[in-house]
Amino acid sequence: MKIVKLGTREYAPVFEEMKAFNANRTADTEDELWVVEHPSVFTQGLAGKPEHLLASSDIPVVQIDRGGQITYHGLGQLVVYTLIDFKRRKTSVRHIVSALENAIIATLAQYNIQSTNDPNRPGVYVGERKIASLGLRIKNGSVYHGLALNVNMDLEPFHQINPCGYAGLEMTQIADYVQPAPSLDAVADKLTAHLMRELVFQAA
């Protein structure tokens, strides 16, 4: 599995690159983790309902092809796209989701943040507040999209939506528990190491 660090990139071009990677991959294509930070954008999943956007603003809304409702990406949030050959790993969507959640939980534990998953709602939570979101798409036997972990960002735009379709869901971030807040690069190094272990463990 290859780690690709994209730096700070606008959402829409990276979305198109993900789709192209997935469409053009072969049985021999190495799986990749894309590490990226996006400027402010709302993304609306396939089943997304417009009423979950509560207020209009200058933040663009991009319609995309993952599952789920609406979420927010912004500077200070760590995004990792998981470009995985689903057929080759002979696993299930639930196992991949669990692997992503477990990697996030293990990363947060390194910062002494106790977090859990919720079997009824994908993502990772600190108490009742959500710190990381997940959204995946399987097409042509492969997985793309991935996870977003809030590190040190402006959380206000989450109040302009029902995050992931849940009214009143409060968001949180690593910076609420750790000062000084770690850099995105430092968190990325820890998270990708855990992802490598969790996802390789799932492989056939």
Residues acting as catalytic residues: 164
Composition of the chain by helix, strand, coil, percent to 5: 35, 30, 35
Return binding residues: 66-73, 133-135, 146-148
Return binding residues for substrate: 66-73, 133-135, 146-148
Q: Which of 104, 147, 145, 141 is nearest to 125 (CA)?
A: 104
Looking at residue 161, the DSSP 8-state letter turns out to be: B
